[in-house]
Structure formats: structure tokens, C-alpha cells
Amino acid sequence: MIIEALIGITFLAALVVMLAPDEYAGKLAFALSLLPVVGSLYMWAGFDAGGNALMAGSIAYQTQLDWLTVAGYDLQWFVGVDGISLPLVVLSTVLSSLAIVSAWTPIDTRQSQFYGLMLFMEANLLGVFTALDFFLWFVFWEAVLVPMYFLIGVWGGPRRKYAAIKFFVYTNIASLVMFIGFMALVFNLPVGSFGLPEITQSLQAGELSSFVGLDPATLKLAAFAAMFAGFAVKVPVVPVHTWLPDAHVEAPTPVSVMLAGVLLKMGTYALLRFNFTMLPDVATRPLVATVIAAIAVISVIYGAMLALAQQDLKRIVAYSSVSSMGYVILGLIAYTGLGIGGATFQMVAHGLISGLMFMAVGVIYNVTHTRMVGDMSGMADRMPITVGILVAGAFGYMGLPLMAGFAAEYFIFQGAFASTVIPSAPLFTAASMFGIVIVAGYLLFAMQRTLFGEFSLETDYEVRRAHFHDVAPLAVLLLCTIALGVAPNIFFEMITDAIEPVVAVVGGGA
């Protein structure tokens, strides 16, 4: 029952913090957030499961209880983890605690409500990554939107209401499209519950029936397209990415950390769980694979080009996320062990590095009150530790060896290059690799303009060294990034165990 304890404690912590006085809320929220961190690390240390939870593999820390029956379908409390979901559970708890610490300086109004909503969001994220019943999963999936809407809309920048509404509308419509696509499959399968393993196994056995004149193959394609479109908005990929920069720019720094570090992974995680695990026969059709690979490469290149054109440091990092998620999509559609394994590893690596980058930009903004590249220079002289960690994180983004970003991209490129699913796979892989050059271009340009050279600042604020509690989360994230780069098997071994059955269905290789 550890998953129930993990989620329940986090919900309870959110309620306690909500009721606490503002002056104690930040410290109390951090203290209580350490409980889920300890719980997730305990799960990781004791993890002993093989295979994919949706494909008759063993499920770690499983609980399956009947809840109620609606229209002949059993709704269940069904939770558990495998090698795909557990790394994301650990990422969620660690990043949430660090994001709460990073909020101590910038958040000075309605603090108890802010920290309570952060913990409420964390609890629902844990539900998304552990739920194995679709109805339960969908409740958590939608519930994540509520705290994020208020965190942006109440504590955000000047255009916070516009950004919050745009985020909510985009993702809600996408969820509706996804829901329709998935239910079209369920209602035409001989299943008695919304359990994801049961639905997956029924689809793999070819038990889907025709629906309103659509033969099973066509119905699968339509459902795949609907689910892909819904999840693609959450990732996001080009061209449904426009809500992301607005949300990041207006969101306070801790919220941007969670948005880039964890919420975007909801989309890629769901794509792997639903589209690429349940419907591999659709994803591996040459035309479908070509379209998805093209979307991935376009997202990598276009996202990087957009970042190159920005002057706001937050927008630069935001568009970088669009580019990085393109690599995840490419790895998934490769259908090789290294491809899908690398894509899953990239979810964790990007969560750490993007969180570090947003935090570092936030620390600089707290001191200078500007994020514009042209408004400052020579920050390294005044904030050497913060700048040093920011530079290290940027090199991690560029794929510096012995950092998590390099390991993830290496796995993805190796897997994609060897793919037999993507037509002309080497060409798509080579095109995506060009994105690394653009990433280096815009990051080096931004750092050279803002961090080095003679000191100058367009604002009237005095530049001082950051507080210890501002720098400490950056150092922790940097150490985690290096640790995963040096020893990727911290997570990669359990990831490969979980994706082997997915690859085996389509006859993929290493």
C-alpha cells in the first residue's frame, strides 16, 4: 500500500499547508514534501519487477480493488509501477521539493495557498504515473490542470490570466479528443473493466470489433490519431505548441520548473503507454511512422530555431523544451530497445536539466528583475556560483558527455538510426542531430551576452549573490544530472526491462 500512502500523504500535506499561516507555509511545505521523496526512493531501492505493467509483466507495489460498476464496466482502484513509471515518480517527488524551495524568495503573497496547490499538483502527478485503471488515471490527469491553472493565473506575470486560460483551454480540448479516441476502442472490446493491462491484452489479441461501418483496422487508426493529437498538445509538439511559451513566461519560476520538468512528461508518458504500447500495429505502418518521425524532427529543428530568435531567457528555455520533446517522439517511433529506452530516459534527463535552467534563470531574475538578454551582461562577476551552475546546465542541454542529456540523446540516436520501422531512418536521425548545433548556438549566444564580458544592467537593482536556499536546489539538480550521466543504469536498466515487451511485439532490435 505504499503508493496509496505516497499519494495520501501528499494530499494531506497539501491540506495542512493550505491551513497554515503564510509565514510558516514555505518551510512546512518543504518539510512535508520530503516524505514523498523518501517514499519514492524507498520504492526505487526495493524495486523488483520485470516486464511492462500493461503487457502481462509483473507490477511492483500493486493494489487492485473493485470500486463500483457502471454500465457493465468495473471501475477499480488499480495502481502499480514498472520500470517506465517509477523513474517518473522519483522525478516528480524530487523536483517538487526543490521547486518549493525555489519559491521561498519570489513568492511573497498568499503563500499557504501557493504551496498547498504545489503539493496538490504533486499528488495528482503521482496518480498519473501510477494509475493502471483508465477512469482513475483520467481523474488524476484532469485534476493536474486545476492547480496549474490557479498557480499561473494568480501568481503569474502581467498576462497571467490569458496564459492560464490558453493553457487550460488547449489541454482540456486535447483531453476530450483523447478521451473520445480511447473510449471508441474500449466500447468495442470484450472487456469488463477499464484496467489498462486488460485493454492492452485484448487489443494485442485482435479482439476489436467493427464500429459504425469502420473495420477494426480503420477504427484503430482513427483512435490512434485522436489519442496522438490529444497527447501531442500536452507534450507539446509543433504545431500545437503555442500555449507553452506563454505559460512559461507568465508562470512564476517554481511553476515553470514543474511545467517543464514533469507536466510535459505526462504527454510523452501517455503516448508510450497508450499509442505505442496498445497500438503498435498502427504506429509501425510506414505512412504513420513517417508522419510521426517528421513531426519529431520538425519539433526538434523548429523549436530550436524559435529559441534562437528569442531575447527573453525564459522563452529560450521554453522553446528548448519543444525541441527536446521532439527527440523523445523520435525515440518512441523508432521501436528499438535503445530508441524507446532512450526516449524514456530523456524524459527524466530533460526534467532535471530544464528544471535546473528555469531555476537558474529565476534566481537571476530575482536579483536583476529582468530576463532580457540585452539588458544585462557580466553577471558571472557578481553571481559566480549561480552562473557556474547555469553554464553547466546549459552544457548538459547541449549533450556534454558524462551528463544525463548526452546519455539520453546517444541512446535515442543509436536506436533511431537502427530503426526498421521508420522509412529512411538514418536521414531522419541525421536531421534531428542537426538540432544539437542550433541548441549550442542559441545557448552559447545567450550566455555570452548575459553572463560574460563587462558588467552592465539596465535596471536600477543592486546585484548581489543569491541566497543559499536559491542556489542549493540548483546544485542538487546538477549533481543528479551528472550522476545519471555517469551511471545511467540508475534508471536505464529498469527502463529497458519494461520496454522489451513493447519492442518484441514489432520485432524491433536493440
Domain membership flag for residue 280: no
Whole-number Å distance between alpha carbons of 157 and 86: 34
State the average pLDDT over residues 97-119. 95
Tally of domains in the chain:
1
**Mean of pLDDT over the chain:** 93
- Rounded to 5 degrees, φ, ψ at 62 are -80, 140
Domain membership flag for residue 46: no
* pLDDT for 413: 96
- Give tens-digit pLDDT for 131-187: 999 999 999 999 999 999 999 999 998 999 999 999 999 999 999 999 999 999 999
Domain membership flag for residue 424: yes
* Secondary structure element (H or E) that encloses residue 357, with its range: helix 337-368
* C-alpha cell, 234: 500536452
* pLDDT for 510: 62
Domain membership flag for residue 291: yes
pLDDT band at residue 509 using 50, 70 and 90 as cut-offs: low
Domain that holds residue 303: 286-510
Listed in sequence order, the DSSP H helices in 418-465 are 425-450
pTM of this prediction? Answer: 0.95
Residue with cell string 529560450 = 316
State the average pLDDT over residues 238-258. 92
Domain membership flag for residue 126: no
- Give tens-digit pLDDT for 282-299: 999 999 999 999 999 999
pLDDT band at residue 508 using 50, 70 and 90 as cut-offs: low
* pLDDT for 40: 97
Domain membership flag for residue 332: yes
CB contact at 8 A, 310 and 319: yes
Whole-number Å distance between alpha carbons of 482 and 356: 12
pLDDT of 26 above 90: yes
Q: In degrees to the nearest 10, what's the CA dihedral of 399, 404, 405, 409?
A: 100
pLDDT of 60 above 70: yes
* C-alpha cell, 323: 525541441
pLDDT of 461 above 90: no
State the average pLDDT over residues 251-259. 94
Domain membership flag for residue 463: yes
pLDDT band at residue 31 using 50, 70 and 90 as cut-offs: very high
Residues of the chain with pLDDT > 90, as a percent, come to: 79
Q: Using only the alpha carbons of the chain, give its radius of gyration.
A: 22
pLDDT band at residue 441 using 50, 70 and 90 as cut-offs: confident
Residues of the chain with pLDDT > 70, as a percent, come to: 99
pLDDT of 213 above 80: no
CB contact at 8 A, 89 and 43: yes
State the average pLDDT over residues 333-345. 96
pLDDT of 50 above 90: no
* CA-closest candidate to residue 16, choices 5, 28, 6, 7: 28
pLDDT band at residue 463 using 50, 70 and 90 as cut-offs: confident
pLDDT band at residue 91 using 50, 70 and 90 as cut-offs: very high
* pLDDT for 466: 84
State the average pLDDT over residues 486-508. 91
* pLDDT for 439: 87
- Rounded to 5 degrees, φ, ψ at 312 are -90, 125
User: Residue 290 CB: number of other CB atoms within 10 A?
Assistant: 16
- Give tens-digit pLDDT for 375-416: 888 898 889 999 999 999 999 988 899 999 999 999 999 999
* pLDDT for 80: 96
Domain membership flag for residue 130: no
State the average pLDDT over residues 354-358. 95
